[in-house]
Chains A and B, each alone.
Chain A
């Protein structure tokens, strides 16, 4: 099964698609990338993910898997070399817990901040900062969440190192203050300097332009 062809439906600026790209690259898995236009969804996407109509979608042989964190775990379990999730069940539970926390308490609130204005934006940014305070405690004393190598939690939270600074710039908000959050800032830096992450990121200028337009449209 592992030898079957792998395809990834993605969108060039989607942090969720990049989770899957990083997981595939870390494991050295060959795949074909298919770019989707999210405003003009292809019949292929609508057929493969009729429920959410979203990227990423992983196609492995005749199997179709949707939702980035489901895909990353699928990849980890199908290709067990270079494991992404920790071995110990408690540490796995912690990785899943913090991935879920960051998704709901940081990503959602930061995105809300980007799309909101005035007091609403300030409120969202404040909530996002409170979430970072908790993440700071988790990453303190660690090079990466996965220890010496990139793990599941680094992949799930990786968007913080690159997408969040773009959203901060576009939204004129500061969520990651390097003085308040030295451990998180250091982790972001380590991640960006890792070849698999650093060499697999969308162009920043294009991202700024894209999110400026999107935040106005919303």
Chain B
């Protein structure tokens, strides 16, 4: 009897607390406070970006593998607009789109290495080039993988031209000429580049064509090679043979 009165009274006291404190307490009780969940797919370079960022920041998280042919109710609930991975759920709040997730991680977890530079101009530069890779370059690559014959050759020429633009545009990022990384301090643009080209050998094997040629694009090649030595990058690399088969089947499907 005494216990039930006690719980009744504490419940009533809880109701008197401001709403945002009540919500915080409830989330804590439900184990959602500071809980981080990443919905992903093993082969997705976009998901890989988020994994790398979470590892760099040392943020513990739960990973949920999605079957994209049979999307879970959670994915559809957390990303109803695009229904895609990656989705990061933090404190019950979902964030979609890999580059937006990276900015969110940078702004929320202030300890540890910075993913974006502090200086607004340096930030603008990395955002610009990340957007270039994400929009211009990926569009060209998609055209190349979906075409064959003459159309494919033309598309590949465009891919290499875009790589050259990137190579020349980012030369100034490395005053000593050679990309070098301290510890695991990958930044926003490094992560995007790594996710797209880190597995370039896999892509080259699967598609029987050279994408990152050290003679044609020495900076990109040395940049990617330097990153591929880092444990945080190695640990997030999808299995080689599985990836080769996956890319081959994607190419096969897109040419049907």
Residues of A within 8 A of B (CB): 51, 60, 63, 65-67, 70-71, 73-74, 77-78, 89-90, 92-93, 96-97, 100-101, 134
Is B149 interfacial (CB 8 A cutoff)?
A: no
Q: Nearest CB to that of B129 among chain A residues?
A: A51
A89-B104, A97-B95 known; A65+B121 contact, CB < 8 A: yes
Q: How far is the CA of A67 from the CA of B108 in the complex (A)?
A: 25
Q: Is the interface of A mostly helix, strand, loop or mixed?
A: helix
Whether B100 contacts A100 by the Cβ 8 Å rule is yes
Q: What would be 5 A-B contacts, judged by CB atoms less than 8 Å apart?
A: A63-B124, A73-B120, A74-B121, A93-B103, A96-B100
Whether B124 contacts A71 by the Cβ 8 Å rule is yes
Residues of B within 8 A of A (CB): 81, 90, 93, 95-97, 100-101, 103-104, 107-108, 120-121, 123-124, 127-128, 131-132, 165, 169
How far apart are B112's CB and chain A's nearest CB, in angstroms? Answer: 15
Q: How far is the CA of A73 from the CA of B169 in the complex (A)?
A: 21
B108 neighbours in A (Cβ, 8 Å): 89-90
Q: How far is the CA of A140 from the CA of B255 in the complex (A)?
A: 43
Q: How far is the CA of A66 from the CA of B128 in the complex (A)?
A: 7
Whether A101 contacts B81 by the Cβ 8 Å rule is yes
Q: How far is the CA of A78 from the CA of B121 in the complex (A)?
A: 8
Q: How far is the CA of A77 from the CA of B122 in the complex (A)?
A: 11
A77 neighbours in B (Cβ, 8 Å): 120, 123
Q: How far is the CA of A90 from the CA of B100 in the complex (A)?
A: 10
The 6 closest A-B pairs by CB, nearest first: A77-B120, A89-B107, A74-B124, A93-B104, A89-B108, A78-B120
A67-B128, A93-B95, A97-B95 known; A74+B123 contact, CB < 8 A: yes
Most B-side CB within 10 Å, residue of A66, A78, A89, A100: A89
Whether A97 contacts B107 by the Cβ 8 Å rule is no
How far apart are B114's CB and chain A's nearest CB, in angstroms? Answer: 14
B93 neighbours in A (Cβ, 8 Å): 90
How far apart are B41's CB and chain A's nearest CB, in angstroms? Answer: 20
Whether B97 contacts A65 by the Cβ 8 Å rule is no
Q: How far is the CA of A101 from the CA of B79 in the complex (A)?
A: 12
Please give 11 more A-B residue pairs, beta carbons under 8 A apart, in addition to A78-B120, A90-B93: A51-B169, A67-B131, A70-B124, A70-B131, A74-B120, A74-B121, A90-B95, A92-B107, A93-B100, A93-B103, A96-B100
